[in-house]
Amino acid sequence: MQTRVVVIVTGAVAAVASGACQNGEDRAATHIQVIDSSYTESWEPMEDTGTVYRIAIYSRLGADTVRNVIPPAPIVVGDTLVIGLVQVSEDSSTPQRQIFRLRLGQHRVETSPLPDDVWPSYQDLLISPDGRYLAYVGEDTTPANPGTYGIIRDLRTGAIVVRGPGGGGCDCDEDYNHARWFPPDSFEIAVAHNNSGGGWQRFSGKASASRVHVDTLTDEPDWH
């Protein structure tokens, strides 16, 4: 997986927007605050405009800021690492999502591309609470296309840990797929099977044990 390094602003953040959201309590070793946000061109294929955030990360090693952060919210792993998503645009191309890693105390952000099979409109691209895995809905675009499926990848190596059955999909303009983690590495991914009238296929398990279970949900889950 190709990686590039971006130097970011360091030092105390003087002005934090009123009513800013905070991840963690003031007494926590590391916490995150939203400084401000702005509208810009969106990575989402079906949307013209999106929102990006500038965040501040405070830790015992100092303060850092990261720009162009997008949902889902970044996570803090231990007291040395923050991982999340940023939107980047190079050479006036369509913006793309990338994974960022801020190593506290080093005052720089490393970014790397998403896996090639991420479904382009999928929003719940989630990093596990222990920072080891990435959960998402993928898409196979080969001639024998099995549609969309739930997938877990190892963030460090990029290797597939587990992958659900194909056959998902939706003839729609919205993302009806969902995912969530339970600490440290148990997951649930709900893949829409609306194109076949199959409701939602729930692909769940424990990533570190490569243990999975597949069943069906009649109603769309509310996991956002």
pLDDT tens digits, 148-206:
999 999 999 999 999 999 889 987 778 999 999 999 999 999 999 988 788 999 999 99
For 49-80, the pLDDT digits (tens) are 999 999 999 999 899 999 999 999 999 998 88
Q: What's the pLDDT score for residue 95? A: 93
At residue 124, does pLDDT exceed 80? yes
What percentage of the chain reaches a pLDDT higher than 90?
Answer: 67
Q: Confidence band (pLDDT; 50, 70, 90) for 83?
A: very high
Cα 2 to Cα 28: distance, rounded to the nearest angstrom: 33
Q: What's the pLDDT score for residue 17? A: 32
Q: Confidence band (pLDDT; 50, 70, 90) for 224?
A: low
Closest CA to 126 of 169, 88, 97: 97
Most confident of 1-10, 16-25, 136-145, 161-170: 161-170
> 85 forms bridges with which residues in the sheet?
70, 99
Q: Confidence band (pLDDT; 50, 70, 90) for 20?
A: very low
The model's pTM is 0.85
Q: Confidence band (pLDDT; 50, 70, 90) for 99?
A: very high
Cα 160 to Cα 118: distance, rounded to the nearest angstrom: 12
Give yes or no for a contact between 57 and 81, defined as CB atoms under 8 angstroms apart: no
Q: What's the pLDDT score for residue 5? A: 44
Q: What's the pLDDT score for residue 94? A: 84
At residue 21, does pLDDT exceed 50? no
Comparing 146 with 83, the larger pLDDT belongs to 83
Q: What is the mean pLDDT of the chain?
A: 86
Give me the sheet containing 31-41, strands edge to edge. Answer: 4-7, 108-113, 96-103, 81-88, 62-77, 49-59, 31-41, 22-23
At residue 81, does pLDDT exceed 50? yes
